[in-house]
Chains A and B, each alone.
Chain A
Amino acid sequence: MSDTANYFELFQLPASFDIDTDKLTRRYHILQRASHPDRHTHSVETAQRLALQHAMIINEAYHTLKDPLQRAIYLLSLQGIRPDEADSIQDGVFLMEQMALREELAGIPQQADPAAASDHIQKTIQVLITTRLNDLTGWFAAPDEPAVACATVQKLQFLYKLQQEAATLATHLNEA
Chain B
Amino acid sequence: MSRLLQISEPDATPEPHQHRLAAGIDLGTTHSLVATLRSGVPDTLPDGQGQHLLPSVVRYTTQGPVVGAAARAAATRDPQNTIVSAKRLIGYTAEQLAQNNIGYELDGSENAMPMLRTVVGLVSPVTVCADILKSLAERAETTLGGQLAGTVITVPAYFDDAQRQATRDAARLAGLPVLRLLNEPTAAALAYGLDRATAGIHAIYDLGGGTFDISILRLHDGVFEVLATGGDTALGGDDFDQAIADWMVCQAGLTSDQAAALRRNLLQQARTAKEALSEQDSAPVQVTWTKGVWRGELSRAQLDELIDPLIRQTLRTCRQALQDAGVNRQDIAQVVLVGGSTRTLRVREQVAGFFDTMPLTDLDPDRVVALGAAIQANSLVGNPTGQDVLLLDVNPLSLGLETMGGLVEKIIPRNTTLPIARAQTFTTAKDGQTALSVHVVQGEREYVSDCRSLARFELRGIPPRVAGAARIRVTFTVDADGLLQVSAAEQGSGISADITVKPSSGLSEAAITRLLQDSIEHAAEDMAARQLIEQKVNAQRVLDALHAALADDGEALLDTAERAQIDTALAELQATAEQTREAGELKAAIAALEQVCALYVERRMNTNIRQALAGQSVDDIH
Interface residues of A (CB under 8 A from B): 1, 3, 11-12, 23, 25-27, 29-39, 41-47, 50-52, 54-56, 59-60, 62-63, 167-168, 170-171, 174-175
A41 to B316, CA, bound (A): 37
Asked whether any CB of chain A lies closer than 8 Å to the CB of B197, the reply is no
B419 contacts A59, C-beta separation under 8 Å: yes
Asked whether any CB of chain A lies closer than 8 Å to the CB of B143, the reply is no
Min distance, Cβ A43 to any Cβ of chain B, angstroms: 5
Q: Which of B36-55 contact A (CB under 8 A)?
A: none
A26 surroundings in chain B (CB, below 8 A): 619
CB pairs A–B below 8 angstroms (5 shown): A26-B619, A32-B390, A38-B380, A42-B544, A174-B319
A47 contacts B390, C-beta separation under 8 Å: no
A31 contacts B612, C-beta separation under 8 Å: yes
B605 contacts A54, C-beta separation under 8 Å: yes
Asked whether any CB of chain A lies closer than 8 Å to the CB of B545, the reply is yes
B544 surroundings in chain A (CB, below 8 A): 42
Interface string of B215-238 (1 = CB under 8 A from A): 000001101000000000000000
B546 contacts A44, C-beta separation under 8 Å: yes
Q: Which of A1, A23, A175 contacts B609 (CB 8 A)?
A: A1
Q: What 9 A-B pairs are tightest by C-beta distance, nearest first?
A: A42-B382, A34-B612, A46-B601, A41-B380, A50-B605, A43-B545, A56-B421, A29-B223, A46-B598
Asked whether any CB of chain A lies closer than 8 Å to the CB of B320, the reply is yes
Min distance, Cβ A176 to any Cβ of chain B, angstroms: 11
Residue on A nearest B479 in the bound complex, by CB: A52
B605 contacts A59, C-beta separation under 8 Å: no
Min distance, Cβ A2 to any Cβ of chain B, angstroms: 10
A60 surroundings in chain B (CB, below 8 A): 420-422
A29 surroundings in chain B (CB, below 8 A): 220-221, 223, 390
A134 to B220, CA, bound (A): 30
A30 surroundings in chain B (CB, below 8 A): 612-613, 616
B379 surroundings in chain A (CB, below 8 A): 38
Most buried by A among B180, B220, B390, B609: B609
Asked whether any CB of chain A lies closer than 8 Å to the CB of B594, the reply is yes
Asked whether any CB of chain A lies closer than 8 Å to the CB of B620, the reply is yes
B605 contacts A36, C-beta separation under 8 Å: no
B613 surroundings in chain A (CB, below 8 A): 11-12, 27, 30-31
A31 surroundings in chain B (CB, below 8 A): 609, 612-613
Interface residues of B (CB under 8 A from A): 20, 150, 179-180, 220-221, 223, 316, 319-320, 323, 379-382, 388, 390-392, 416-422, 477, 479-480, 541-542, 544-546, 549, 593-594, 597-598, 601-602, 604-606, 608-609, 611-613, 616, 619-620
The answer to whether A54 and B609 touch (CB under 8 A), given A41-B179, A44-B601, is yes
A59 contacts B616, C-beta separation under 8 Å: no
A25 to B611, CA, bound (A): 17
Q: Which of A41, A50, A168, A175 contacts B382 (CB 8 A)?
A: A41
A63 contacts B609, C-beta separation under 8 Å: no
A25 to B392, CA, bound (A): 13
Residue on A nearest B613 in the bound complex, by CB: A12
A42 surroundings in chain B (CB, below 8 A): 20, 150, 380-382, 541, 544-545
The answer to whether A47 and B323 touch (CB under 8 A), given A27-B616, A33-B612, A56-B477, is no
A46 contacts B606, C-beta separation under 8 Å: no
The answer to whether A23 and B601 touch (CB under 8 A), given A42-B381, A171-B319, is no
A34 surroundings in chain B (CB, below 8 A): 608-609, 611-612
Residue on B nearest A53 in the bound complex, by CB: B421
Question: 5 more A-B contacts (CB under 8 A) besides A59-B418, A171-B319?
Answer: A41-B380, A43-B601, A47-B545, A54-B605, A62-B417
B541 surroundings in chain A (CB, below 8 A): 42
B597 surroundings in chain A (CB, below 8 A): 44, 46
Residue on B nearest A52 in the bound complex, by CB: B419
A23 to B617, CA, bound (A): 11
Min distance, Cβ B377 to any Cβ of chain A, angstroms: 10
Residue on A nearest B591 in the bound complex, by CB: A45
B223 contacts A171, C-beta separation under 8 Å: no
Residue on A nearest B620 in the bound complex, by CB: A23
A32 contacts B223, C-beta separation under 8 Å: yes
B605 contacts A47, C-beta separation under 8 Å: yes
Residue on A nearest B619 in the bound complex, by CB: A26
A42 to B611, CA, bound (A): 21
A27 to B604, CA, bound (A): 20
A35 to B480, CA, bound (A): 12
Q: Which of B150, B417, B593 contacts A41 (CB 8 A)?
A: B150
Min distance, Cβ B576 to any Cβ of chain A, angstroms: 16
Min distance, Cβ B386 to any Cβ of chain A, angstroms: 16
A92 to B222, CA, bound (A): 50
Min distance, Cβ B561 to any Cβ of chain A, angstroms: 20
Residue on A nearest B221 in the bound complex, by CB: A29
